[in-house]
Amino acid sequence: MQTKHGFFLLNKPSGPSSAKAIYPIKKLSYVEKLGHAGTLDPLASGLLVVGINKATRLLGYAQAGIKRYSGTFKLGITTDTYDCMGRVLEEKTVTVDSGVVTNLSSSFMGEQMQQPPIYSALKIRGLPSYKRARMGEEVTLAPRKITIYNFKIKEVDKNLYSFHCECSTGTYIRSIVSDIGTKLKTGACLMSLQRDASLPFTLEQATTLEKIEEQCLMPWWEVIKSQRIAFSEKEILDLQCGRQEFLKDISKKINAESSMSELLLYTNQEGNPIGLLKWVGEKYELLLHIE
């Protein structure tokens, strides 16, 4: 059987971790290696981009796009994980007017530094932060630069609000909710969360685990937005052999009017994509070769 390389767009259910949600895909006969882009917490549902075989090397590029989320949060409750699956630390009576809450969204817009929750998959010396926190270790995570492009809040019920958020990769929605609770001095926790998009992919394109089959596999090159260049059989052989002079001369084959692309997708003479080059320093280097 020919080895396949590409991406599944999975509609993850709420409940399992991302790793557990994708594990059944590993049982497919043509899957040797498996990974996912952009971890979703157990509470969260929605779009999860899953890479198989050599396409796992491209997961960093697959998760680089803007994210869109929707969900709900509740005022008056503070938990250690910032969501409803955590241990309740404090409960308060809420007297804040709903208009104050909905208008608060504008203060979160733009580029900013965000403090990730200690109960997260971020690794500290090789171990996920949440595991260290559960062992009772004192965990400190450095703030991360994020950007919130759009954020809307709407009242659903007493102390319960829905939201839509468009943000950069690496943004923790739980932290945004926690910050809302801090600003209002009421506490707040995330009640539900769904990833609606990880651009250019949307939840509408995704399928459930039960319906995933070979026909759902997205070609690996569809996640890459880059220039294309065709190589002859000899040039492809030069690439595979790592001949440095050829690698240095590749840029000469690119249209002089084009800006240098970080990634360069190359095809055979028939136009079939077979690999990727990455610009490193002063030349392209082989990132991925698939035939």
The model's pLDDT over 36-78, given as tens digits with 9 standing for 90+, comes to 988 899 999 999 999 999 999 999 888 888 999 999 999 999 9
pLDDT grade for 259, boundaries at 50, 70 and 90: low
pLDDT exceeds 80 at position 225? no
Domain boundaries, the chain: 6-65+202-220, 67-198, 224-289
Q: How far is CA 106 from CA 111, 152, 153, 182, in A?
A: 12, 8, 10, 16
170-192 confidence digits (pLDDT tens): 999 999 999 999 999 999 999 99
Q: Do residues 44 and 195 make contact, with C-beta atoms less than 8 angstroms apart?
A: yes
**In CATH terms, are 6-65+202-220 and 67-198 the same topology?**
yes
- Cα 4 to its chain centre, rounded Å, is 22
* Most trustworthy range by pLDDT among 104-108, 129-133, 267-271: 104-108
CA 47 – CA 68 distance, rounded (Å)? 10
User: DSSP string of 147-216?
Assistant: EEEEEEEEEEETTEEEEEEEE-TT--HHHHHHHHHHHHTS-EEEEEEEEEEETTEEGGG-B-GGG--GGG
Residue 249 annotated to the active site: no
Does an H or E element contain 234, and which?
A: helix 233-241
- Looking at residue 40, its pLDDT comes to 93
Q: For domain 224-289, which architecture applies?
A: Roll (2.30)
Does an H or E element contain 237, and which?
A: helix 233-241
Q: Do residues 76 and 84 make contact, with C-beta atoms less than 8 angstroms apart?
A: no
What percentage of the chain reaches a pLDDT higher than 90? 53
Fold of 6-65+202-220: Pseudouridine synthase (3.30.2350)
Query: Phi first, then psi: what are they for 46, rounded to 5°?
Result: 110, -160
Instruction: Give the predicted TM-score (pTM) of the model.
Output: 0.88
Q: Do residues 210 and 10 make contact, with C-beta atoms less than 8 angstroms apart?
A: no
pLDDT exceeds 90 at position 27? no
- Looking at residue 193, its pLDDT comes to 98
pLDDT grade for 257, boundaries at 50, 70 and 90: very low
Q: Which of 41, 83, 179, 238 is catalytic?
A: 41
The mean-pLDDT minimum among 27-31, 108-112, 185-189, 280-284 falls in 280-284
Closest residue by Cα to residue 194 from 291, 70, 277, 283: 70
pLDDT exceeds 80 at position 247? no
- Cα 214 to its chain centre, rounded Å, is 23
- Looking at residue 260, its pLDDT comes to 61
CA 280 – CA 86 distance, rounded (Å)? 44
- Looking at residue 121, its pLDDT comes to 78
Fold of 67-198: Pseudouridine synthase (3.30.2350)
- Cα 169 to its chain centre, rounded Å, is 6
Q: Do residues 143 and 113 make contact, with C-beta atoms less than 8 angstroms apart?
A: yes
